Structure 1
């Protein structure tokens, strides 16, 4: 398989995905019905230049993470995804790897969850997909790369999130997060990316190392959360974490009680999107 064949496959599959189906605006002058390169780059979380070089056969040996992100953005079937991995000279991820694949049926389900913030994470809490309202609520993740997209890393080593927490709530949340990650590590002991994440966190965060060494296992619960948004103010929302049998993905959905000020602010956020009210 050659880089040229990989690039041809990307262009062919990009041309068949209508922007509206990917949650993107479909108006304006378009030379083709499918995604533009910059739109594919946005959806996959990689640079436009890299997409261009991949399509032109000038970039070789893309990582498994990049191929997975492209397959997800292009909404490939399981067979097409496996084919793209082989074109890249990679073995398609097996059952020992943390799943990062969204089936077309799950993608269609997510497409229908309009009006509510939805984020999809894998079992190691790496953000795979965020709908526009989730990005508006929690901050636009499109510029995040690598570990910056991982919720555990961000909580211990990064900027955290907009969710308001007391010191006690933060300690409890971190403990649950680490217990959840340990459960995942037991399920996927051979996943190299998961091992690297744990090594990074243990080396750089004393708090994570302390919690990890405690040996606790569990799952990360949802619950009621208050999000401090810089434009519309605080929103107190119910956070539910859904799972799909066989995928091990975490679908995080935020909803507001109807008729409340929180529901009004969430509706306003849907109008504003990720734009700022100032400047």
Structure 2
């Protein structure tokens, strides 16, 4: 097993390029540096996780990538365009920790909402929505309301809503963080099933080592505030990945490595072999 340290370039074509991004916030007491000199490339169709402790700037970085926040310095390019341009072209999809479904709309109508707001043709809207319902396995719940769904089912609706525009880049901010552990474990493999089929580029924010290993091609480990990328670890586990992966020796090695990185016990650039 090798821990890679350096410019953190994508193996193939870069879909997302982050160059020396820093972000500060001014408070009445002080100027807070949330992120410092973040440089990272994400390849097309790659699944990368941003792993770090609470308060290290993971979510701030995701919002900068998505054009919801401007960096203090540095730049972000999504397929050669600014995040705002990519957002305007519906090239970005967002899934947050809270599904934020409208309680007065059914499952199918919640998925339709962004298409309706952007004046998609009614027939196209319904065709797309039916496809999304099938993709996330909620076809028979199409006319249910959010209060009638479990937390995991609500998050599936949120994922379907994000995919309705067929975005090339999916940004996910701890989407399973509010779920119980059993549901969370199920949703990880549901997400992998969907990713295996759709092959989107995914940037996934988490503080769960288990989640990062199961889902990712690479894991970028952030330090505590200010958030800097300590290193990027390749997860060389075969795909498709299936339940029971966590019990393997290789998984345990990756888990120990990432835990050491988070706790500060491994120096950048160190090498590991199994």
Q: What's the TM-score once normalised by structure 2's chain length? A: 0.32
Q: Select the structure that is richer in strand.
A: 2
Higher relative contact order (CA 8 A, sep 6+): 2
How does the TM-score come out when normalised to structure 1? 0.31
Q: Which has the higher helix share?
A: 1
